[in-house]
Amino acid sequence: MTRLTVLLLSAVTAWPLGAPAAAAEPRPVKVQHKTVKVGDLDIFYREAGPKDAPAVLLLHGFPTSSQMFRNLIPALGDKYRVVAPDYPGYGHSSMPPRDKFAYTFDNLAKVIDEFTEKVELNKYALYVQDYGAPVGYRLASAHPERITAIVVQNGNAYEEGLDNEFWKPVKACWKDPNNKEKRDALRALLTYDATKWQYTHGLRHPELVSPDGPAHDQFLLDRKGNDEIQLDMFLSYGGNPPLYPKWQEYFRKHQPPVLIAWGKNDKIFPAEGAEPYKRDLKTLEFHLLDAGHFALESHGDEIAALMRDFLGKHAAKK
3-state secondary structure of 194: helix
Query: Active-site residue numbers?
Result: 293
Alpha-carbon separation of residue 275 from 99, 102, 287, 288 (angstroms): 40, 33, 10, 10
Residues contacting 262, CB < 8 A, separation 6+? 152, 153, 154, 269, 271, 273, 274, 287, 288, 289, 295
Intra-chain end-to-end CA distance of the chain, in Å: 59
What are phi and psi for residue 44, nearest 5 degrees? -85, 145
Q: Is the dihedral of CA 56, 274, 270, 159 positive or negative?
A: positive
What strands lie across the sheet with 147-152, from one edge to the other? 32-38, 41-48, 81-85, 55-59, 124-128, 147-152, 258-263, 284-289
3-state secondary structure of 288: strand
d(CA 133, CA 131): 5
d(CA 68, CA 58): 10
DSSP letter, residue 145: G
